[in-house]
Structure 1
């Protein structure tokens, strides 16, 4: 395999160290010549990059070059692939995304409901500019985008770049859920073959098979319903919020036993229950600031102070490995199957063709080749069409600067529903995002 050049956009992310460790573990499958970090926040990126440089020097001596920069030309010239993980407005704006809906008695969550709309509207402009910049310097690079909310961002990118077939929108939540499935079944996660359908953060596993084609679905459902269901991916296994989220997925399966749900469906199926538990003084953003961000930054400081990782435990994560193996399949034409987002075009036969659906697809050097799902049952079709309509209206509102369409999108969303509540939340979010959003008429 030829060694490739990779840029990680959002190099200052607290997830970047895990990706670097994953790149080290996966170097035989995805050999690299160079790694570059790019971020607009030089100080935040430098903290991560200095620790990453020591990790790479010790564990990836084959790597010819590691750089970090805020210069687009230096970052994007002559790359083979880009991983994009940006957060426009940072964690400060995420906290407002969560606090404002909570104040009005709705769910405050960064990718779902009103918070997801706010984050998505901020992301569109920066993501569009990033793709244009990358294409200016590397017209054939594969771009793997996992910037949230991926459904809104993906619809906007499809609108902006309809002919660019080297942009792949991908999410790690299905594989994180499958990690828990694998541990329940005493299997390696990569031995499982999922059948899945839906939208990003809004889907269901219809079957879980093994590599020999044996159907493990009923056994898995029984283990979840009759036991406990908790996260086992190392990044989230000890996080109380994620523990409660996975246990809610067990309740979803009890209530709707036909298919195995994505954990994010809790926000849409039990919005009133979850909203009652929310506190504007203890948002998920605040938990991340005081938890993962603090922990990762302290780890970086420790690595830099010691100038070694020999007595420091840095782990890869399923998130990073999933992105890396997907990229390898695209670049080296491995034809492996991953759950990714693709334009529907009949994949789910009874959903709109323009929906950005999340389904298993074979990843080739000509892009994803999705496997047909066929018709889905009425209950799931109705839920998905409602969610797709809300997300489509958000993107249309952005380009048309339409207040009306945003209000419609918010009212459609199952986490809000009540029209006066939707308007009140929207007006507060507009004020909070006046430096990021277009002016809506």
Structure 2
């Protein structure tokens, strides 16, 4: 079995140690000879890399480890790029959340004005990673799960249409693990799911076991009562704000009881409630900075100081194994069925063929083969067309440096009450993002 070389772009991320632990867990089915970390923040990456180097030396000393800020070194002679960059880091995420809240609008990382601001920051750097990969390792594939995935996917579709980039999100996978727990199954892989939507904006409409038995009625009954909250507390998120979101799925599902919703739909259907329950002085970004951020960097520093990773509390995010499954599908042509963000191209015939939709695909060595969904109902069609227009306008604004297009995008978001509010919001976001966005005119 061929051994692979991996570059993790965003090497200073708090998620990087978990990704490396996950890769180590799967070495028997996805062997690796080299892991490289790449980031443009050397100081931050050095802390993560210092810990990861010790961890690898103890658990897989045969793997070559490289930490670098040099694109040529990072992207040469590799098979896969796993990209999870956060442009502006958590300090800018804090602005994405707090600026909208000052205007009485939802403040969220990937939805609404915050997601649009983050998208405007992310497009250029993600394209830069694609270009590095194609320059130094033209046969490599990029598995991109940098947020906001919908806007990034539209940008790569439009601006790098022939690149080997697969845009993915592990949120549906996390929800499917909760579904498996609800059903008493060992793994989501015991289910065959049918799903359609956009990233953070979709619905399950058919779920069966391997024998073809319909599992949807049992799941609908549970979600109607409890949302995605399960008896197995180990499946729930450590943060209360996430568990509120899992519970809120109960209300989201009532809008279309025949399907099961992605949890992020709560931000589009109940933005007023989310704002009412938000603390404009302490948002999710603050939770992460005070929680995960401090924990991971403290653990990494402890490993460096003690010279060993034995007994570390760093851990794998279980649903992150999806990334390895995707790499294996490409490397070994497994034809595994997976949810990916791909160009619609007729899979959903009654919406824009150039929309970047999230649907099941069969994945092999040539990439994804999207499966046909068929026409979708008017409710979902209307919602998706509106959101697709938002995403396309954001990319248009970035490409043409158009203030007008970005004002239109924010106005069109279901989370924003009026064009007047949208303009005031945009002006504040421009000020906060001067170091990141192209200058708009």
TM bin (shorter chain): over 0.9
The equivalent residue for 1:420 is: 420
Q: Deviations over 1:164-186 (max 9, x none)?
A: 2x210000001011111111111
The equivalent residue for 1:239 is: 239
Q: Deviations over 1:248-295 (max 9, x none)?
A: 112211342121111111100001111112222111111110011011
Q: Deviations over 1:287-326 (max 9, x none)?
A: 1100110111111122223322332343221342111111
SS at structure 2 position matched to 1:116: helix
Contact 2:97 2:114 in 1 (8 A): yes
The equivalent residue for 1:130 is: 129
What's the C-alpha RMSD, in Å, of the aligned pairs? 1.5
The equivalent residue for 2:214 is: 215
Deviation of the 1:225 alpha carbon: 2.2
Q: Deviations over 1:199-245 (max 9, x none)?
A: 00111111221222221111111122234533779696211111011
Contact 1:175 1:318 in 2 (8 A): no
1:219-368 paired onto structure 2 within 5 Å: 219-227=218-226, 229-230=228-229, 237-368=237-368
Deviation of the 1:85 alpha carbon: 0.6
1:84 aligns with 2:79: no
CA 19–233 in structure 1, closer or farther in 2 if over 3 Å, else same: farther
Partner Cα separation in structure 1 for residue 417 and residue 332 of structure 2: 46
Contact 1:348 1:376 in 2 (8 A): yes
1:159 aligns with 2:153: no
Partner Cα separation in structure 1 for residue 258 and residue 419 of structure 2: 32
Structure 1 length normalisation: TM-score? 0.97
Structure 2 length normalisation: TM-score? 0.97
Q: Deviations over 1:150-200 (max 9, x none)?
A: 111111111111122x21000000101111111111111221221100000
SS at structure 2 position matched to 1:301: helix
CA 142–233 in structure 1, closer or farther in 2 if over 3 Å, else same: farther
Contact 1:180 1:229 in 2 (8 A): yes
CA 149–242 in structure 1, closer or farther in 2 if over 3 Å, else same: same
Deviates more, 1:286-295 or 1:154-163: 154-163
Task: Point out where structure 2 has 5 or more consecutive residues left out of the alignment.
Answer: none
Q: How many aligned positions are there?
A: 439
The equivalent residue for 1:22 is: 22
**Runs ≥4 residues deviating over 4 A:** 231-236
Partner Cα separation in structure 1 for residue 195 and residue 224 of structure 2: 20
Task: Point out where structure 1 has 5 or more consecutive residues left out of the alignment.
Answer: none
SS at structure 2 position matched to 1:263: coil
CA 389–124 in structure 1, closer or farther in 2 if over 3 Å, else same: same
1:113 aligns with 2:107: no
Contact 1:155 1:395 in 2 (8 A): yes
Deviation of the 1:333 alpha carbon: 0.7
Contact 2:227 2:249 in 1 (8 A): no
Q: Deviations over 1:328-386 (max 9, x none)?
A: 10121111011001100000111100000000101111110011000000000000000
CA 135–235 in structure 1, closer or farther in 2 if over 3 Å, else same: farther
